[in-house]
Structure 1
């Protein structure tokens, strides 16, 4: 909300009364002429906070004289819901509409029972678009994907790096469905509405800081680099395939791989990468991202573990000493087996979510607790993906593909 100090309001009263208020033959049932003095917040502790504007859905108090005959309250071209018991001769309590106006007049307008009207200058504050994520940052040209966020209002345009404009299929305040246009180049998107323009922090076909693409950037040189596959499921070349089946009495795989592929370790030194951290800045500003395709997944957790550049072992998965880990298991919140509908989707895990320890209980089940250890940037030159079973596992299969592993700014 935009708030005017009460002292400032003293100087604005003549302006509001003489210049910003228009009355069209207003006569209230009380016999006096309706007047709006000011609009304020409804919190009694802040009752002297006067408003020249408010945000969508905000509750405000319209203060004045002879307002009891009010039947309609309009903000721009949208009518608010008027509750009769909240209308008195001195005040009206009303929520601003939650939708964006099509025509912006910056007017608050009252309509009275006798058909007369009263206008008062008042701005409905609407933010520029606030995009948060793209469900599939590697969606191919011609495919339709979803952008999530807030303040998405028509008319709007979505422009990719290189100037190609997307076809916007569906718009609501928190989601956009867009079709990827020909000529869409890797990089951020520009999203524009009548209320502002925003460049996305996420990138289409993100090329930033990819350290595993399983083509020229692979995990070779570690104990178990994992299985690289190219087939009809490929996103762009090789991808990492994790697959197998867990049972309740075998929460951890420690024997020969056979047809099962439970993990992929990437050791920085063993792979010949430069010494140093995979995270280019302060951990709280970055996220691990990758594309994933889930064929089936139930009752096992993907452990994601950082380790030192010169790891040379698999201590990161069994030990809680090197660094806290991230744990991903979307089947848990879904309440059962999940898949990604045959599509590759973008997974984002903030580095701040690397905060768990893995242990086993008296029954040998894998359990997770939040770690008391601080995240250690000295131990972030290697990374492992490792699937471990959960106590609920009972003949529980998983088949997950991973590609384009990167660490980028949030």
Structure 2
């Protein structure tokens, strides 16, 4: 029943012609208004009649003597009427995005003479949709943000351990909640009057962590990286990547003084069992790479994330494009300015389908990224390396990044 239109303008242009052709009847108020049916707005599916639709859907109310409509209500929410989309025979209208407070399951039209017309019609509202949690390792008593859709009060958020969170802020796409005492590792449950949803993400996710830089580290690899404990809010050690790039130094390979640009994790060298880091390596489209990160300062360099074979890539996973495409992460690029996380840890999610780039050096020794033609090879997923490479605009550009709890889980 739900129709999603990515280009509303492209849809409305042919409809405007239909409205114009029908407009000659607009003032023919010789009879009582009537609604015959409601249909989808797409001209190619105009015979698809509706008994209900979803928030935000564009529909057509079809009848007679409708030209005097001045208001149109779905339950207790008033829709926006555009005069050029109203004729005696049809009204094109978007269902409001707001959830009703009082549910009547009717359309009600108010006409210019004050008369009204009701028609049975259900506005279907989805159960909550949960997309992400800003910090999956947030401490008890701290506030974090959950994003998604269809967040309508009254709403409850429960953590594994059967404890309910205090919901501080609610809008349709965002919840701010305080982590309750007794919250345990596992999924959350969010409930509204329209349904209940369990999250695919976990609070304090313990699934498939292969790097926590404590008992699961990258030791044995050529450049395992620097482990530190100088940033609070998470337990134990973290990986620290830091340095300062200039335009003529785009690709430092390892520690240079206090600078640490790279951390390689090779499964065999680190003493891990043979096999892939991905639970089902042949289905990367179903999985995401996650880790917690804290950024003090970052501009003009990208974090390259490169899979390698279990039995040691010989450093070639970062230098070549032969094993698998790489992912790149550079949150500073969206606004082209220095990025930091405001002194907080965040959870980073990278779909494995985003591992899609080749890295090359041009004649000026600048780093370039291009879409990869390399076919995904599940055999080359037994290790994972991080390598910070400068973007061409780097010029005295420092970075300081902390990473922990590296895992691959279902999305």
SS at match of 1:237: coil
C-alpha separation in 1, matches of 2:125 and 2:186: 27
Q: How many residue pairs are counted as aligned between the two chains?
A: 386
C-alpha separation in 2, matches of 1:170 and 1:203: 21
Matches within 5 A, 1:8-47: 30-47=29-46
Q: Which residue of 2 aligns with 1:206?
A: 205
Q: Which residue of 1 aligns with 2:240?
A: 241
C-alpha separation in 1, matches of 2:391 and 2:32: 72
C-alpha separation in 2, matches of 1:156 and 1:164: 14
Quick check: 1:395 aligned with 2:399?
A: no
Q: Which residue of 2 aligns with 1:17?
A: none
Change (3 A) 1:291 1:2: closer
SS at match of 1:253: coil
8 A Cα contact 1:127 1:195, kept in partner: yes
Q: Which residue of 1 aligns with 2:303?
A: 302
C-alpha separation in 2, matches of 1:274 and 1:205: 24
SS at match of 2:374: coil
8 A Cα contact 1:288 1:351, kept in partner: yes
Quick check: 1:258 aligned with 2:257?
A: yes
Q: Which residue of 1 aligns with 2:182?
A: 183
- Deviation digits for residues 10-63 of structure 1 (CA, Å, limit 9, x no counterpart): xxxxxxxxxxxxxxxxxx993533221111122332222211111212222212
Q: Which residue of 2 aligns with 1:20?
A: none
In structure 1, the gaps of 5 or more residues are: 4-27
SS at match of 2:325: coil
Change (3 A) 1:325 1:83: closer
C-alpha separation in 2, matches of 1:407 and 1:255: 25
Quick check: 1:142 aligned with 2:141?
A: yes
- Which 10-residue stretch deviates more, 40-49 or 276-285? 40-49
8 A Cα contact 2:139 2:233, kept in partner: no
Q: Which residue of 2 aligns with 1:342?
A: 343
8 A Cα contact 1:41 1:60, kept in partner: yes
The alignment's C-alpha RMSD in Å is 1.8
Change (3 A) 1:87 1:366: closer
Q: Which residue of 2 aligns with 1:356?
A: 357
C-alpha separation in 1, matches of 2:353 and 2:109: 49
C-alpha separation in 2, matches of 1:328 and 1:218: 21
8 A Cα contact 2:324 2:377, kept in partner: yes
Q: Which residue of 2 aligns with 1:58?
A: 57
SS at match of 2:353: helix
Q: Which residue of 2 aligns with 1:329?
A: 330
Change (3 A) 1:43 1:355: closer
8 A Cα contact 1:355 1:375, kept in partner: no
- Deviation digits for residues 239-283 of structure 1 (CA, Å, limit 9, x no counterpart): 001111111111111465321111111111111110000011111
SS at match of 1:284: helix
Q: Which residue of 1 aligns with 2:266?
A: 267
8 A Cα contact 1:222 1:312, kept in partner: no
Matches within 5 A, 1:157-176: 157-176=156-175
Q: Which residue of 1 aligns with 2:369?
A: 368
- Which 10-residue stretch deviates more, 399-408 or 305-314? 305-314
C-alpha separation in 2, matches of 1:358 and 1:151: 40
Shift of 1:84: 3.3
Shift of 1:2: 6.2
Change (3 A) 1:262 1:2: closer
Q: Which residue of 1 aligns with 2:105?
A: 106
C-alpha separation in 1, matches of 2:56 and 2:34: 24
